[in-house]
Amino acid sequence: MASILRGPLQGPRLILAFFLGILFIFYLRSGPVDLEPGDVAIPDGPLTTVGKDGVALVSLGEVDEVDEVDMDAPLADKEKESVSDKFWEYVQGHSSHGSENHSPVPHAEHAKGAAVPVVPAVDQADREGTTPTDPFCKSLASTKDVLVVVRTPASELYSQLPAHFFTTLRCVDFLLYSTVHQNIGPYTVHDALANISDARRAKHRDFELYDKLQSAQNFVMDLHSITEDNDHNLDRWSIIPHVVDAYKQYTNKKWFVFIESDTYLSVSNMLLWLAKLDHTKDLFAGAQVMIGDVELAHSGSGIILSQTTAAKLSDRAKTRTDAWQDMVGNSCCGDKILAQALKEVNVTLHRAFPMIQGETPFSLDWSERHWCRTAMTWHRMTPSTLDMLWQFESAWVLEHSKDGPGSAPPMLFRDYFQTFLIPLLRTTHNRTDWDNLANSLTYTDSSGGQFAHYSFASCRAACDLRLSCVQYAWEPNKCRLGTVVRLGEKVVSDKRMMSGWNPKRVEKFGAKVDACTAERAYLMPMEKNAQDEMKLMEEERKRKEEQMVAAEEERARKAEEEKAKKEKEDREEETRKKEMDKAKAAADREGEKIQKQLEEHQKKVEEDRKKNEAEKKAAAAELEKAAQELAGEQQ
């Protein structure tokens, strides 16, 4: 002890350390501070409003106070860079797909008898009569007449939906649907299949998955691994029910916009288009797809219905639901049956492609067909790419809203191209382990007389030689050339694939078509502008002409290869024939020589035989003569 006291803690230092230790112990033992009512300031203004049936409704745009933004200020360099950085992270393969390690909290109806605290059901706020405080929301035109409806598989509730709350759904009223009934924070996800009868479920194997989801939810299991397969397709059953239910809940809305959880919706572009339309007229808009003889709107790209059309469908459903469900059970796709159901009330599809479309900015074939159109939806998005597009949209709207809410011009495909692709391709001409989806022309090791497939450099040279080529992709023994710009996607390193672009031609393409007018931004229902229609037809004609030219070049190349191959075979056949004739002539000559030698040999043999016979006769005669002489002497 004495040795310790003689250390650094001596005298006053020891006393000070002792008191500090006591204070520390007292601090650890003290409990949390209890706050009395009134000790915490609550911000003024309504945080919630009461919606239909007394249900508390909340709008994301009204919850948090956000500092006002100077609308006249130019877009900060840092903001511009943040969008590019996100895009760069995506193409580098570093994009985050969100955490899927959440455990869902079951809704009360799936926890029968259990005393589980349930968050009150909240869908969205009725924005009429309220003023948004979010700078982005304040810069938009009024959203009070629009309802956005998001449908998601149960497996993507926590991986896809949360990103929407802070981006696409930030300023709009919305409803959420899935194949389970679930609360996510203050928001309710409705079960789109809740009203399908037990008898109907028992007839179809699809609902084995539905039962599995309900059971997993009751046991508070993670749903992300319970996915659809070829034998269990719940998606087709949910489309018409969620469309009808959304209208029944909000019959006062003028527009109903239906998207999926991997769809990005440009709210600002959508509002600008809807402002030009009449909700009292029928509208069924989407990206047109043909299945058999049925033209439908692809649900993943997005579907828009006017109030009038939604009302007709809802009224028709009162007597046709069972028949429609019979049709669903015998069809691949619910969006096909939706199109057929709308046709029953004399509503046909307004073809809104490419404004509403099913590609990503990375898989889209950037062409003149898209260039001057408003980009309203993108499909197959991840949370990170969805956020990336929202960052761009919010920066665009804030920068261009100098004349008040809704004054920002629409974002065209041209603007996305110039913002994302041009800066990237200026600095990155080639990428390893990347497929840029070039597919206009393909060279392989079976392409006689062609060498583009030998190496990446040979493939690039082949692209340089074709003036219409803007990009190329190479893998062992295959070279693909592209005449339209695509970014593409990362592939596994085992494929040994490399992709490249010709940046000068890419920029030249952008400069060549950079002549957009306001009239071309939107595809209006029943568009009668003949000049605009002629332009569209001309664009389509040019596109098909380019395809035909490429196809003709391919046919000519193959014909040339066939011709060269045939000429080579003919030359080889002729050479072979000459060699055979020469060999035959030599053989004939050799045969004649042998025959002559044989005849001479036979002649010589015959002469020798005759000579031998003559000699034998002479010898015999000589012997006979000698015998006669001997006999004569004896006598």
Give me the amino acid identity at 103. Answer: S
Which tokens hold the place of 40? Answer: 């915490």
What percent helix, strand, coil does the chain show, rounded to 5? Answer: 50, 15, 40
What's residue 107's pLDDT? Answer: 34
Rounded to 10°, the helix 307-329/334-344 angle is 120
Q: How confident is the model at residue 30 (pLDDT cuts 50, 70, 90)?
A: very low
Choose between 529 and 227: higher pLDDT.
227
CA count, 13 A, side-chain hemisphere, 206: 21
Rounded to 10°, the helix 307-329/235-249 angle is 150
What's residue 72's pLDDT? Answer: 38
Yes or no: say if 349 and 296 are a contact pair by the CB < 8 Å rule.
yes
Q: How confident is the model at residue 61 (pLDDT cuts 50, 70, 90)?
A: very low
Decide if pLDDT at 398 tops 90: yes
Average pLDDT over residues 574-597: 86
How far apart, in Å, are the Cα atoms of 334 and each of 230, 241, 249, 260? 15, 10, 21, 13
Yes or no: say if 282 and 312 are a contact pair by the CB < 8 Å rule.
yes
| pTM, entire model | 0.65
CA count, 13 A, side-chain hemisphere, 242: 35
What's residue 537's pLDDT? Answer: 64
Q: How many angstroms separate the CA atoms of 241 and 338, rounded?
A: 10
Average pLDDT over residues 598-620: 87
- Tracing tokens 């002479």 back to the chain, one arrives at 618
What's residue 74's pLDDT? Answer: 39
CA count, 13 A, side-chain hemisphere, 286: 29
- Domains, the chain, in order of start with CATH, read 49-416 (no CATH), 429-525+538-562 (3.50.4.10)
Q: How confident is the model at residue 15 (pLDDT cuts 50, 70, 90)?
A: low
**pLDDT tens figures, 441-499:** 999 876 665 788 899 999 999 999 999 999 999 999 999 999 999 999 999 988 899 99
Decide if pLDDT at 427 tops 90: no
**pLDDT tens figures, 510-545:** 787 767 888 888 888 864 444 455 556 667 777 778
Yes or no: say if 275 and 300 are a contact pair by the CB < 8 Å rule.
no
Q: Which residues, at least 6 apart from 77, have a Cβ–Cβ distance to it below 8 Å? A: none
**pLDDT tens figures, 321-334:** 999 999 999 999 99
Q: How confident is the model at residue 283 (pLDDT cuts 50, 70, 90)?
A: very high
Q: How many angstroms separate the CA atoms of 67 and 366, rounded?
A: 38
- 37-51, 122-136, 146-160, 319-333: least confidently modelled range: 37-51
Q: What value does the CA radius of gyration of the chain take, rounded to a whole number of Å?
A: 43
Decide if pLDDT at 307 tops 50: yes
Average pLDDT over residues 98-102: 34
Q: Does residue 354 have a cis bond before it (omega within 30 degrees)?
A: yes
Q: How confident is the model at residue 12 (pLDDT cuts 50, 70, 90)?
A: low
Choose between 27 and 514: higher pLDDT.
514
Q: Quick count: other Cβ atoms within 10 Å of Cβ 422?
A: 14
Q: Please state, for a pLDDT cut of 70, what percent of the chain lies above it.
A: 76
Yes or no: say if 167 and 390 are a contact pair by the CB < 8 Å rule.
yes
What's residue 102's pLDDT? Answer: 34
Decide if pLDDT at 54 tops 50: no
Decide if pLDDT at 167 tops 50: yes
Element counts in the chain: helices (H) and strands (E): 18, 21
How far apart, in Å, are the Cα atoms of 433 and each of 459, 489, 494, 633? 16, 9, 8, 125
